[in-house]
Amino acid sequence: MNKTITVIQPRCQDEEKTMRLKSVLEFGLEGYEYDLLETADEIAAADLRGRKLLFAIELGESGINLEYVKLLKRIRLNRDMFEGCLAGIVVDGNSELFTKSVARHMVFSANRAGCAFPGRPLVEGTRTLRNFNIIAANLGTDNETAYKVSVRELVERVCNNKKKRVDHPKLLALHAGVPETSNTMLLWSMIRDNLDADVQEISLRNGELHDCHACSYETCLHFGEKGKCFYGGVITDDVYPAVLDCDGLIMICPNYNDAVSANLAAFINRLTALVRVRSFSDKRLYAVIVSGYSGSDIVAEQLVSALNMNKTFFLPPRFAMMRIANDPGSIMQNQNIKEDASAFAEAVMKEFRS
């Protein structure tokens, strides 16, 4: 068992606000050897490559930690800062807001700098800790103890994570685009041609696709245990079996109003039935995102939040290829686009085979 981890905790000047996070970390890290880095300068100066990391971020009522903002700048300017790292993240807030959005920014930026994240890498403590009501009830304890136990479990998953090697992976690509006019589909075709893998594509564009209708927990669990969903259709007939069988999921996402398309969002929501009964932590998540103008980072962060933080997919380093293209076919005007598509495919294969 690996009992060594590096804690990156951007310093908060108000010691009173840090007391709860300090207590939570003491519980979560008991028995582990760890280095503590607290300023952006010392974090940037350290050689962190290949380490197991725990990001621990304290937020005041404003949702802003100035040392964290300095760190975020360093990360976004150093694209190999976390090469070979695996990390979890704890965000402790003095508000009911901002903890998830800060975590999304952090995970996305660290991922672009080479950091991987296991499924459900986030533990967040809002001001009231009401977000732990269900976990506390399941554990038969109070919310603060549930918070501490969740951090302890996260530390254990980060330190003991063992990545599965797959020489010839099965990849599931989901889209809702029109191949004849979609720049996103054109970029995906260039990537697909360079993948040495079994690739299954499923279009969610055709046919009637129901979004999640929020069945009761018992109903959702009942159908999930059978690998199905109450509303059936293409999701349970085609997509569920393909998700269960694949080693990696590739989301092909044009940017629709700074969000994934409605059909892809419906797929994400409908995955809840399967997540009730199993983890997807052995399946890697990738994305191909094309924006007409800007905002690819917003779509990527949506996928991080929904499929990595919530639905438990493993987030490999640099999981998303993002480009800008507007008029049909204009993706080809991106400089070195074919070479970049080939390089992304090569990185995907290297991740499975390492």
Report pLDDT for 221: 44
> Would you tell me how many other CB atoms lie within 10 Å of the CB of residue 1?
7
pLDDT band at 232 (very low <50, low <70, confident <90, very high): low
Domain ranges, ordered by start, for the chain: 4-160, 170-353
What would be the CATH architecture of the domain defined by 170-353? Answer: 3-Layer(aba) Sandwich (3.40)
Please provide the average confidence, as pLDDT, over all residues in the chain: 91
pLDDT at residue 251, as a whole number: 98
Q: What is the per-residue pLDDT across 174-195, written as a single tens digit (0 to 9) for each?
A: 999 888 889 999 999 999 999 9
- Tell me the pLDDT tens digit for each residue of 115-164: 999 999 999 999 999 999 999 999 999 999 999 999 999 999 999 998 88
Common-topology check for domains 4-160 and 170-353: yes
The per-residue pLDDT for range 300-338, each reduced to its tens digit, is 999 999 999 999 999 999 999 999 999 999 999 999 999
pLDDT of residue 178: 83
pLDDT tens-digit map of 33-48? 999 999 999 999 999 9
Q: At the top level of CATH, which class does the domain 4-160 belong to?
A: alpha beta
Structure confidence at residue 50 as a pLDDT band (50, 70, 90): very high
Of 119-128, 159-168, 222-231, 280-289, the one with minimum mean pLDDT is 222-231
pLDDT at 224: 41
- The proportion of the chain whose per-residue pLDDT surpasses 70, expressed as a percent, equals 92
Please report the pLDDT score of residue 219 as a whole number. 47
pLDDT of residue 181: 86
Residue 226 has pLDDT above 90, yes or no: no
